[in-house]
Chains A and B, each alone.
Chain A
Amino acid sequence: MGRYAVRRLLQFIPVLIGTLFLLHYLTTLSFQFNGNPVRALFGDRQPPPETIAALTRAFGLDDPCLSQPGNPCVGMFVERVGGYLRGDFGVDFNLQPVTDLITRAAPVTLRLTLLAIVFESVVGILAGVIAGLRKERFADNLVRISTVLVISVPIFVVGVLTQIIFGLYIGNWVRDRTESETMEAIFSISYQSDHPWASLIIPSMVLGATSLGIIARMTRTELIESLRSDYVRTARAKGLKPTRIVGIHALRNCLIPVVTLIGIDIGGLMAGALITEGIFNIPGIGGLVFRSVRTGETPIIMAVVPLLVLVYLIASLLVDLLYAVLDPRIRYE
């Protein structure tokens, strides 16, 4: 397993370099066709050419290759990657170091993702188990219908609806009846830095909703399959209690693909956080990317996107390793 992990880790390097180059080339092309982004900073005003020249130099955008459409600007790319290796990720248009922006935003997104994972795993698996045990009865139909709903409705619709229902109607009702700040924070419609966890609860539910539906459905199907299997029949022939048969013998097998799904979802949630963070005004990584894409702040995009790629890669590596732990039939050498 150790050698396998090392081999996989080494594969990260070409993937990351590829991602970086692709991003670099896309942003370079956008500069080459759209012109110097520094001009956009001034809006309608007409700044003196010296100011623009100075700023362009400061952002490292004075390379002549930027005026030759199609030129990949390899020199700039090498310089940038060299800077990354030294720990220098550049500055944004407000001259703030990108590393500062990321370290400020990352904890918020991590909290959001963590809450979403806990929410979707606990509720999703529980709903799946109940539906699987009560196959084709009321509880099962309820789970099946509600999961189709959360899977099929786009996240921004769920987000806005949640804001209106929980933030406004239920929120007002709660605010009329409680003095508790935490309760108010939970039902506020946006992020509040005084309540870094409570105000993220409802956004995390929105974020995790789609995956919750998929997890519940998968758990249900796997459990039904497993309850029909020969090893469950053996467990029954062993005179074990029904709770043990379901909880240990059946569920242990069902959860192998479900855990895999949750692991891969870490990357998906990071991407989904982009919209959720936008709707609930959460100053996380997603918000940062969203803003930078609009204003064309290359240094931020160039630093954050590979970071997300790295998170995705690490998550999928962990899932693969975990798979071998969960399923003894799988061996890596």
Chain B
Amino acid sequence: MPESDILQAGTPADSKAVASLYFDTTAPLLDVQELRVDFQTKEGVAHAVNGVSFTLEAGRTLGILGESGCGKSVTAQAIMGILDSPPARVVGGKVLLSGVDLLTLNEDARRQIRANRIGMVFQDALSALNPVFTVGWQLGELFRKHRDFSRKQAKQEAVRLLDLVGIPAAGQRVDDFPHQFSGGMRQRVMIAMALALDPNVIIADEPTTALDVTVQAQIMKLLADLQAERNMGLILITHDIGVVADVADDICVMYAGREVEKADVYAIYDSPAHPYTQALLESIPRVDMKGQQLASIQGLPPNLTSMPSGCAFHPRCRFARERCREDTPPLYTVTPGRLSACHFFQEVLDS
């Protein structure tokens, strides 16, 4: 199949549910506004995502950073609409995909958006792929169910995709099961699956966790190349601040379900404007600091059912004062396009 035809096949063959929607191509590709997700637990309501906003343009990469349990994956799954509810519930905000609020769509339209317009790469491909079906079957399923391809056509597409993500001898490997692939190859299969229907947005949720460092670099490069080639928007969720540095254009740092700093990647690495970001950067192991104690952030992320008053980071913050305990900091504009949720961002910048 020539390249132009591939792109042709990629235009979503939307069903009635989606065809009636008006996708505004001038609107931002993905615009998340004040997204809130609650979890109903026995201990009470956990505010997993607490008013997150960000914008993603086509061809750009947004890195979402934060330690475990700060709401990164929940944000991603809320955008995809694949949260388990109950216990999870989206209680507020908007998820605008080219101007269409996904949260207001019915379940059928929502389903059509998945894979067709937003693809997702999960961490740990071994458990994310179904163990009892061949990778070819799992890839082909997308074409059979969304594009009405025959089994034979679907398999051809699967081979083409495996080839695209750099799996050697794709024609033979298409009939292999997930456990027969190495970790890096499995993650490539996962990426092929997210790409299959040529979505506009790809959300990669910790795509390189549990891979060794050389393979990590290969996977990140593959994602970046494919993204540039297809002009997709890429959301890269990770707790590894080193991983995003090379790939991301913008960074959104999350803490306790809220974004605490947003900036382009250079600004953040150059001079963080939030104490949490600063602490994260300091905790990167560095070759020139060999033999010294590795800096870490004292304490644990807060319990989401009983958040600290004021700024959620204040119990762990070295800049914390009285004001931080009472007053929740808004997102201050540090410089145009750069935001920080810290009352004392100037002090952090200068330090």
Q: Which residues of A contact B (CB under 8 A)?
A: 228-231, 233-241, 244, 249, 252-253, 256, 326-329
Contact = CB atoms under 8 A, between A and B. Distances in A.
A328 B122 contact: no
B193 A328 contact: no
Nearest to B82: A236
Interface string B93-137: 000000000000000000111111001101010011111111000
Contact of A326 (B82, B132, B142, B193): B132
Contacts of B128: 230-231, 233-234
B338 interface: no
In terms of DSSP, what is the predominant structure of the interface of chain B? Answer: helix
Nearest to A252: B132
A239 B81 CA distance: 10
A229 B112 CA distance: 22
Nearest to A234: B128
Given A233-B128, A328-B131, 15 more contacts: A229-B127, A230-B122, A231-B127, A231-B129, A231-B131, A235-B130, A236-B82, A239-B112, A239-B142, A241-B111, A241-B145, A252-B130, A253-B132, A327-B131, A329-B177
A237 B111 contact: no
Contacts of A234: 122, 128-130, 193
Interface in B274-307: none
B82 A249 contact: no
Contacts of A327: 131-132
Most buried by A among B119, B131, B132, B179: B132
B141 interface: yes
Contacts of B141: 238, 240
Contact of B116 (A231, A235, A239, A329): A239
A238 B131 CA distance: 16
Interface residues of B, number: 29
A241 B107 CA distance: 10
Closest 5 CB pairs of A and B: A239-B114, A230-B127, A239-B115, A231-B130, A230-B128
Nearest to B177: A328
A234 B120 CA distance: 8
Contact of B179 (A230, A236, A238, A329): A329
A233 B193 contact: no
Interface in B41-79: 77
Most buried by B among A236, A244, A329: A236
A240 B142 CA distance: 8
A235 B133 CA distance: 12
Interface string B174-197: 000101000000000000010000
B82 A253 contact: no
B351 to A, nearest CB: 41
Most buried by A among B82, B112, B114: B82
Nearest to A233: B82
Contacts of B80: 236-237
A208 B134 CA distance: 35
Given A244-B145, A328-B177, A329-B177, A237 B131 contact: no
Interface string B243-268: 00000000000000000000000000
28 contacts: A228-B84, A230-B122, A230-B127, A230-B128, A233-B82, A233-B122, A233-B128, A234-B129, A235-B130, A236-B82, A237-B80, A237-B120, A238-B114, A238-B141, A238-B193, A239-B112, A239-B114, A239-B146, A240-B111, A252-B130, A252-B132, A252-B133, A253-B131, A327-B131, A328-B131, A328-B132, A328-B179, A329-B177
